[in-house]
Amino acid sequence: MPITETAENPEWDRVVTAKSGLLDLNLAELWRYRDLIYLFVKRDFVAIYKQTILGPLWFLIQPILSTLVFTIIFGNIAKLPTDNIPPFLFYLCGLVAWSYFSDCLTKSAATFSGNAGIFSKVYFPRLTVPIANALTNLITFAIQFGLFLAVLAYFTWKGAPIETSWRVVILPLLLLQMAMLGIGFGCIVSSLTTRYRDLAMLLSFFVQLWMYASCVLFPLSLYPKEWHWLLVLNPMVPVIESFRFAFLGAGTVEVYQLVSGAIVSLVVFVVGIIVFRHVEKTFSDTI
């Protein structure tokens, strides 16, 4: 229930009222709670690697180790094509983009189960939690993106066939699409797990399979062109391909792919918000 201002009783600053609709985002209320979002972001970012020896270095170590494994297995052993891009750079590019989306999904999926205690004690807009998760993941993305740019600069200096273009300006739109897709799916999963806990157990397996189907480890050009329309129904395929095309000059990107990916992401986001809004009213009875 959103909190609205009232002049009927001077003793009250806000009044909790019923929602006016399933897709009532109430952006004004979310803006009033921006300080709470900031606190959630600070809490989550600091807590990720708290009490670890290497601390924030894990933000860089994880993508480097994963990229090395992918390079050895898929590049050197399986010898999958990488559109003439150095395998390490190819895999790192896809992994950095994918990590932002997967983090948004998995963390949003734990919104109800991970915050049941505080949700049942005090009112605040529940959407502040997945929004804070997306912003926290954006900080992580910025750190890993800096690593990617450093590796990109190194391979460019070594003379690798890389063509970074003006299309890099599309990066904010790609991040927005990934955030919407991750929050949307995460809200759906979080809402369903209030009744079906098994979904939480299957989530990591599902995300892993989704990564293999999203051109993170191989280019879209590996498949026959007549099948591209089917593959890009996965909205992460055009995102990953666009990310590579903008920064590396390699990838298969067409306008219809970008449009279809954006539409699917928007639909998932809207459905996720509707389901989330419906479940938040009664989740404390089933969690």
What's the pLDDT tens digit per position in 31-45?
Answer: 888 898 899 898 888
In terms of pLDDT, which residue wins out, 56 or 54? 56
Mean pLDDT highest for which of 63-72, 116-125, 186-195? 63-72
What the block records as the tokens of 26 is 């109430």
Tokens 């809200």 found at? 187
Pairing of strands 3-5, 14-16: antiparallel
CB-CB contact of 68 with 92 (8 Å): no
Task: Work out the burial of residue 285: count CB atoms within 10 Å of its CB; fewer than 13 is exposed, 13-18 middle, 19 or more buried.
Answer: exposed
CB-CB contact of 153 with 248 (8 Å): no
In terms of pLDDT, which residue wins out, 154 or 113? 154
Q: What DSSP string describes the chain?
A: --EEE-SS-TT-SEEE---SSTT---HHHHHHTHHHHHHHHHHHHHHHTTT-SSGGGHHHHHHHHHHHHHIIIIIIIS----TTS-HHHHHHHHHHHHHHHHHHHHHHTTHHHHSHHHHTTS---TTHHHHHHHHHHHHHHHHHHHHHHHHHHHHHHTT-S----GGGGGHHHHHHHHHHHHHHHHHHHHHHTTT-THHHHHHHHHHHHHHHTTTSSS-GGGS-GGGHHHHTTSTHHHHHHHHHHHHHS-S---HHHHHHHHHHHHHHHHHHHHHHHHHTTTGGGT-
What the block records as the tokens of 83 is 């559109």
pLDDT at 51 over 70: no
Instruction: State the pLDDT confidence band at 229, using cuts at 50, 70 and 90.
Output: confident
What's the pLDDT tens digit per position in 72-116?
Answer: 999 889 888 888 899 999 999 999 999 999 999 999 988 887 777
In terms of pLDDT, which residue wins out, 151 or 201? 151
Mean pLDDT, rounded, for 246-261: 87
- Report the alpha-carbon distance of residue 155 to residue 88 in Å, rounded: 10
What's the pLDDT tens digit per position in 196-227?
Answer: 777 778 888 899 999 999 989 989 888 888 88
- Report the alpha-carbon distance of residue 281 to residue 69 in Å, rounded: 44
What the block records as the tokens of 218 is 């191989």
Q: What percent of the chain has pLDDT over 70?
A: 87
pLDDT at 3 over 50: no
pLDDT at 9 over 60: no
